[in-house]
Chain A
Amino acid sequence: MDTQVETVLPVYIVGDSHSLPYHNLVFRERWTGAWVMARTKYIPGLTAHDFFNPATGEFHPEFIGFLEYEGLVRAGRATHLSMDEVDFAIAKAAAQSVLPPLILIAVGEIDVRGPIMRILKDTHDFVPPFPTTLPLLDKSLVPWDVIEEAIEERLGPFIAGLQQLIAAGFKRVYVQSVVPPTRKEERIRELQAYDCPVTVRTKLVQAFNWKMAAKCRSINLTMLDNWSDLTDGGLLRPEFDFDGVHLPPRGARVYLEALIDDAIDSRGLVANHPRYELYYRAACGLDPFQVTAPGAV
């Protein structure tokens, strides 16, 4: 059926407070002229560590709640890949293409600012294993492996959760990198009750993103990394320093456009094979929901 009514391309954005700048964002993307609309869910205090519990195999309840509310999950299954008659009827009533959804997850900033930054405070610095323009301060050094271990400990459950999402059929998932931290020292003191120099905390965010990007790549997901757009001289550009923690909405749009630019050429993932199975059966005059063994027709 050829659908004629114009609809938006939804991007489902879920995460900690860094999902908030996306709220109600809408724009026309430059590839097809489609309207892109951010559908956001802010989960207070969500961390990478608490996104998923590998011991129980369960996600954060509010994450699942969001997927259910948006109709992406029903009874523990991805609805877009469902061959269930109920999900088929729901899709029919919506009369729109059933596509693997685009999902953007924003977590990690609380992990960095909380348990990891505490290792360094204003007494220590570290040398990361990647090139950086940020200086090494005249402070005691924490070995990289200590920093790495702390990052791994926070990221482990998150990556396990992403793998579970992929296994559930959500393959068009993106991860927002942690945004560069504010340059304002007094803001960090206010938030953390201790000091940590801007170059040290910025380098720490770089290190976290570096690890997260590698882990995302290893499971064929993309971490959106717009560091060079958002920084100047290695530090957050003042025009993107909104409230000392978050990006302004136009900073969020930079990430969203990066997602669209990547997704437009990743449409090999867009074909909905279960829906074709149903369609093919119906075209052959069979009951689409009555599975028969191949060759038994």
Chain B
Amino acid sequence: MTITLTLKNSVGLLKGSFNRALARLGYRLVRADTLDRLIAERAQPAAPAAKPETAPPTAGDVPKPPDGRFKLLPSANQAPASCTALAPKFDPLKTPSQLGDNIVAFQQDGITVISTSAEKAATWRETERFDRDVGNRHSAWDWAGNSAESYTDDLQAGLPSPALVEDLHALFSGGDFEAFFRGVLGCRAKVGNVRLVRSRPHLTDGVGPQEWHRDGCPAGVIRGVLYLCDVDGQTGPFQYKDEAGRENTVLGKTGDLLIFDATRLLHRGSGPSHKTRSAIDLVFMPRMPDEEMKIMVVGMNHWPADPFFYKMPKERLPDHGSVPSHDERRIARLY
């Protein structure tokens, strides 16, 4: 026992002396298993605070928390396949309505035509002013809409007069239309935009709304076109493709109101070949139960980006400067 203790003390003293000698030369003696443990510990992620401030963390070398909190999860922002998905299946026997057949037609085909006053429509055609191009003078960051510059000379646009807005308010506030929108949307509706559009005869290919397209309307948003003139095959009638891909043409009389799901149906306002087509372009959107009927006039915009909060876009007056052309913009391209 004494011999063993003496030997251990001697080895200890020898180690101590050796370590002190190494320390004077700037070294330390470390046991092999201790060294392995230290290496293993260094291989573990270090706490961020241990990193020198001069070496900013990067995605590659910063410790990754187990919950992967530096990841972003996928999120979609896509128009629905149909904009009226919440409307219950309409039964005209259960819920008699003046426009019951139109509700059934809309639910079946995604489009219906409702006759309105031909006299009023003819008057609007003569009294309303189609005095501007289709450039967006109401550009606003919280509204989806057309480009600021006009994209064609074949289309003229206009803002509805206060009298027309009042007439439309009366029309769509009526019991028939209240019931109609409840039937096709599942809720009441307001008018998200109303504008006048006149299409001049032309033989060139149509652009913008005269090309086949879907509008990408958000949920609950549907479109309307109220003809202000008789529309035959030469006046650029509305066309759509049904679910089987068949092309359908909607001829109409002055005062006919087409209401359609512009996202469900591939559609276009075909280019008039010989006669001018005048119409009122409408956007219908859901109305909250406690909300009054209203008609918004927002030029060449489509719908608010966020239906809960938006500002009414202001019109940019011509004397405050015209729309800068593409050449005047600051996007200079080198390559």
Residue contact A2 to B89, C-beta cutoff 8 Å:
no
Residue contact B219 to A273, C-beta cutoff 8 Å:
yes
Which of these binds chain B: A89-97, A140-148, A185-193?
A89-97
In B54-97, the 8 Å CB interface with A consists of 55-60, 62, 64, 68-80, 85-89
Residue contact B334 to A273, C-beta cutoff 8 Å:
no
A127 within 8 A of B: no
Residue contact B289 to A45, C-beta cutoff 8 Å:
no
Residues of A near B144 (CB, < 8 A) are 267-268, 270-271
B235 within 8 A of A: no
Residue contact B309 to A97, C-beta cutoff 8 Å:
yes
B316 within 8 A of A: yes
Q: Closest CB-CB distance, A103 to chain B, in whole Å?
A: 12
In B5-62, the 8 Å CB interface with A consists of 55-60, 62
Residues of A near B246 (CB, < 8 A) are none
| B-side interface mostly | loop
Q: Closest CB-CB distance, A288 to chain B, in whole Å?
A: 10
Residue contact B311 to A44, C-beta cutoff 8 Å:
no
Residues of B near A213 (CB, < 8 A) are 335
| Complexed CA–CA distance, A267 and B306 (Å) | 12
Residues of A near B80 (CB, < 8 A) are 273, 277
B220 within 8 A of A: yes
| Complexed CA–CA distance, A277 and B64 (Å) | 35
A265 within 8 A of B: yes
Q: Closest CB-CB distance, A20 to chain B, in whole Å?
A: 15
Residue contact B71 to A58, C-beta cutoff 8 Å:
yes
What per-residue 1/0 map shows which CB atoms of B310-325 lie under 8 Å from chain A? 1111101000010010
Interface size class of B (residues with CB under 8 A): 35 or more
Listed A/B pairs (29) with beta-carbon separation below 8 Å? A33-B314, A33-B316, A43-B56, A46-B58, A53-B60, A60-B57, A60-B59, A64-B70, A92-B308, A164-B72, A169-B75, A225-B331, A226-B331, A226-B332, A228-B334, A264-B139, A271-B79, A271-B218, A273-B77, A277-B80, A277-B218, A278-B308, A282-B288, A283-B187, A285-B187, A285-B289, A294-B85, A295-B85, A297-B86
Residue contact A98 to B306, C-beta cutoff 8 Å:
yes
Knowing A97-B309, A98-B308, A276-B221, the reply to whether A169 touches B186 (Cβ < 8 A) is no
Residue contact B60 to A50, C-beta cutoff 8 Å:
yes
Residues of A near B78 (CB, < 8 A) are 273
Knowing A2-B310, A283-B289, the reply to whether A99 touches B141 (Cβ < 8 A) is yes
Residue contact B186 to A272, C-beta cutoff 8 Å:
no
What per-residue 1/0 map shows which CB atoms of B258-293 lie under 8 Å from chain A? 000000000000000000000000000011110000
Knowing A31-B148, A45-B56, the reply to whether A280 touches B70 (Cβ < 8 A) is no
A281 within 8 A of B: yes
A70 within 8 A of B: no
Residue contact A276 to B307, C-beta cutoff 8 Å:
yes
Q: Which 7 A-B pairs have the closest CB atoms?
A: A276-B218, A280-B220, A283-B286, A50-B58, A168-B72, A169-B75, A58-B70
A130 within 8 A of B: yes
Q: Which of A1, A76, A100, A265 contacts B308 (CB 8 A)?
A: A1
Q: Closest CB-CB distance, A84 to chain B, in whole Å?
A: 11
Most buried by B among A30, A77, A225: A30
Residues of A near B145 (CB, < 8 A) are 267
Residue contact B330 to A254, C-beta cutoff 8 Å:
yes
| Complexed CA–CA distance, A261 and B330 (Å) | 7
The count of chain A contact residues (Cβ–Cβ below 8 Å) is 88
Residues of A near B148 (CB, < 8 A) are 31, 264-265
A153 within 8 A of B: no
Q: Which of B73, B309, B313 contacts A95 (CB 8 A)?
A: B309
Knowing A2-B312, A32-B140, A277-B219, the reply to whether A283 touches B288 (Cβ < 8 A) is yes
A51 within 8 A of B: yes
Most buried by B among A34, A58, A283: A283
Give the nearest-CB partner of B55 in chain A: A45
Residues of B near A64 (CB, < 8 A) are 69-70, 72
Residues of A near B219 (CB, < 8 A) are 273, 276-277, 279-280
Residue contact A284 to B331, C-beta cutoff 8 Å:
no
Q: Which of A9, A169, A210 contacts B76 (CB 8 A)?
A: A169
What per-residue 1/0 map shows which CB atoms of A206-223 lie under 8 Å from chain B? 100110010000000000
| Complexed CA–CA distance, A52 and B71 (Å) | 9
Q: Closest CB-CB distance, B45 to chain A, in whole Å?
A: 12
What per-residue 1/0 map shows which CB atoms of A31-50 lie under 8 Å from chain B? 11110000000011111001
Residues of A near B195 (CB, < 8 A) are none
Residue contact B306 to A275, C-beta cutoff 8 Å:
yes
Q: Closest CB-CB distance, A121 to chain B, in whole Å?
A: 25
B305 within 8 A of A: yes
| Complexed CA–CA distance, A61 and B73 (Å) | 15
Q: Closest CB-CB distance, A177 to chain B, in whole Å?
A: 9
Residues of A near B240 (CB, < 8 A) are none
Residue contact A59 to B70, C-beta cutoff 8 Å:
yes
What per-residue 1/0 map shows which CB atoms of A82-111 lie under 8 Å from chain B? 100000000110011111100000000000
Give the nearest-CB partner of B303 in chain A: A271
A122 within 8 A of B: no
Residue contact B308 to A165, C-beta cutoff 8 Å:
no
Knowing A268-B144, A275-B307, the reply to whether A284 touches B330 (Cβ < 8 A) is no
Q: Which of A59, A76, A277 contacts B59 (CB 8 A)?
A: A59
A154 within 8 A of B: no
B216 within 8 A of A: yes
Residues of A near B186 (CB, < 8 A) are 284, 297
